[in-house]
Amino acid sequence: MLDYIDTSKYSLLPNTAGCIQPMKRCAPPALGAEGGVSNWVSSRSSATKDNLFPDNEQLVRQRGSSCAKASSWLPYTTDDPVVCRKLEDAGAAAIMPLGAPIGSASDQEVNNLRIIREFARVPLIVDAGVGRPSDAALAMELGATRS
């Protein structure tokens, strides 16, 4: 597949989506780095295969593993400002909270996202729960509120 992607023009982001067992979470960052694709990894940890809601406790433990240490770590998490700060402290290169549960068609929780944006020391990427164009516009407006 890499033969058809101009990696000088496009950046690829390996991720751990669907990796339920801890050891399998080591594969995407290792393969990405070994293949020269990226040293970044979107880190996702869900409790079960059929639930995409982030498992924050597992994310923090995952960062301590040797497979995550070599990567620029981008954890997918909930919109809890305290958890986001802990992930930053654990070495996240960016914080990626969900705007609303995936597939819920719920409105984004903008209050928590505003708090995270105000105090974040790393980039904030709203990674899920953006179902309508107005949701995407709202997420972008949050980025402009930081002084």
Q: Name the residue ranges covered by the structural domains of the chain.
A: 2-143
**pTM of this prediction?**
0.73
To the nearest 10 degrees (0 to 180), the angle between helices 133-143 and 110-119 is: 30
What pLDDT is stored for residue 146 in this prediction? 40
What pLDDT is stored for residue 75 in this prediction? 86
Dist. CA 126–CA 40, nearest whole Å: 17
Angle at Cα 24 formed by Cα 22 and Cα 28, nearest 5°?
Answer: 120
Q: DSSP letter at 16?
A: -
Return the amino acid letter for 88.
Answer: E
Contacts of 38 (CB under 8 A, 6+ apart): 11, 12, 13, 14, 32
Dist. CA 47–CA 56, nearest whole Å: 10
What pLDDT is stored for residue 84 in this prediction? 92
Q: Which CATH number fits domain 2-143: 3.40.50.1980, 3.40.50.620, 3.20.20.70, 3.30.70.120?
A: 3.20.20.70
Handedness of CA 137, 98, 109, 115 (dihedral sign): negative
What averages of pLDDT result for each successive group of 10 residues across the chain (147 residues)? 80 67 56 65 69 77 59 84 91 85 68 89 83 76 56
